[in-house]
Structures are given as C-alpha cells and as structure tokens.
C-alpha cells in the first residue's frame, strides 16, 4: 500500500517543496501533473524541501489523462476540493492493500470543473469558515494525508520516539 499526494498543475514552488518534505517524512509518493508553474530545479522549491529531495519518490505526468491512466483502481482516487458535501474524515482510507491517491488542484483555480462534475462521488472537502477562499495547499495536503495515515494505523511510520530525556535539561 502506498499513499500518493497528486498535484494538478501546481504553481507555487514553496507549496510543492513543503509537500515534498511531508511526502519524505511519510514515505508518500508525490505525483506532479504538468504543466508546472516552476522548474523543479527552482531555488525556492529546493529550499522548501531542504535536503529531503533524495528521499521523495516523485512521479511526473504529462497531463491529467496520463495520470489517471496510472491509477489501477479509481475507487481509491479522492479529489480534494471545497466543492463537496462530503468531509474527508467521513471517508474510509483504512484499506492498506490498495494505493490511495489524493488529488489536489492548482492553487488559483483548483481542479477542472468538468472533471469534478464527472467525479462528484470522489470529491471530499476540509471544513472551514467562509472567511477565507481556501486553505494553503501544503497545509491541506498534510491534513488529508495524516487522516489517511491515522486510519491506516501509521503503518511503517515511527509511532513512538525514543530520545534521551537528559538532553532536554
């Protein structure tokens, strides 16, 4: 089982860098769908990801259709959008024998409207007030990913940190 954070045409290198760091920390695949609003050798992208780039499994896709062709079971594809009645915590992500794909839209325009209308059963949202247009992309990815990981009992992740209490003094 692998979790995937999928970014549709991301524009901001700092968001993608932060998401890459989260992917490295959780052994999550980062799927990037072209076109990107930056080059992957961008300084701000590298700065946000720091020295974790070698630990991130990044898969590039030419377009949305090419990405969808790589998803073996569309049942485990989730579109994260503010245009949904279903909240992300209401969905069961616990199936550990399958890959889960969390697809996030472009920072400015989200996912293509036609695509979302064709896949309303896959749309999930993060509850929030009406005081802001949307949450930051990297925050949204972390929120949804960690709910999935929680439901999967944080499989393959360190659940207990062992440290020397004397070093804290």
CA distance linking residue 111 with residue 122, whole number of Å: 12
pLDDT band at 162 (very low <50, low <70, confident <90, very high): low
Q: What is the pLDDT of residues 9-48, one digit of tens each?
A: 999 988 998 999 999 999 999 999 999 988 777 566 666 5
Q: What is the pLDDT of residues 85-136, one digit of tens each?
A: 999 999 999 998 899 999 999 999 999 999 999 999 999 999 999 999 889 9
What are phi and psi for residue 27, nearest 5 degrees?
55, 45
Q: What is the mean pLDDT of the chain?
A: 90
126 is in an annotated binding site: yes
Q: Which residues of 16-30 are buried (b: 16+ CB within 10 A; e: fewer)?
A: bbbbbbbbbebebbb
**51-60, 81-90, 139-148: which range is least confident on average?**
51-60
Q: For residues 65 and 45, which has the higher predicted lDDT (pLDDT)?
A: 65
Token duo for residue 57: 């499994």
Q: Can you give the chain as a three-state secondary structure string?
A: CCEEEEEECCCCHHHHHHHHHHHHHHCCEEEEECCCCCCCCCHHHHHHHHHHHHHCCEEEECCHHHHHCCCCCHHHEEEECCCCCCEHHHCCCCCCCCCEEEEECECCCECCHHHHHHCHHHEEECCCCCCCCCCCHHHHHHHHHHHHHHHCCCCCCCCCCCCCHHHHC
C-alpha pair distances (Å), 36 with each of 21, 23, 92, 123, 148: 18, 18, 31, 23, 26
80 is in an annotated binding site: yes
19 is in an annotated binding site: no
User: pLDDT value at position 40?
Assistant: 75
User: pLDDT value at position 156?
Assistant: 86
- Please tell me the class of the 3-168 domain: alpha beta
Closest residue by Cα to residue 117 from 89, 84, 68: 84
C-alpha pair distances (Å), 12 with each of 48, 88, 136: 11, 24, 11
**48-52, 127-131, 136-140: which range is least confident on average?**
48-52
Q: Is the pLDDT of residue 54 over 90?
A: no
Closest residue by Cα to residue 81 from 108, 111, 55, 41: 111
């Amino acid at each position: 089982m692998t979790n995937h954070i999928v970014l549709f045409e991301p524009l901001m290198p700092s968001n993608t860098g932060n998401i890459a760091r989260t992917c490295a920390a959780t052994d999550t695949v980062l799927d990037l769908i072209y076109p990107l609003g930056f080059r992957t050798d961008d300084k701000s992208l590298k700065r946000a990801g720091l020295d974790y780039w070698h630990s991130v499994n990044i898969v590039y896709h030419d377009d949305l259709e090419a990405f969808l062709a790589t998803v073996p079971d569309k049942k485990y594809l989730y579109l994260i959008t503010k245009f949904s009645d279903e909240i992300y915590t209401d969905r069961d992500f616990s199936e550990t024998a399958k890959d889960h794909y969390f697809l996030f839209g472009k920072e400015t325009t989200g996912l293509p409207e036609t695509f979302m209308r064709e896949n309303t059963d896959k749309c999930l949202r993060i509850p929030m007030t009406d005081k802001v247009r949307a949450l930051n992309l990297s925050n949204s990815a972390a929120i949804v990913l960690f709910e999935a990981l929680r439901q999967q009992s944080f499989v393959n992740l360190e659940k207990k940190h062992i440290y020397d209490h004397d070093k804290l003094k």
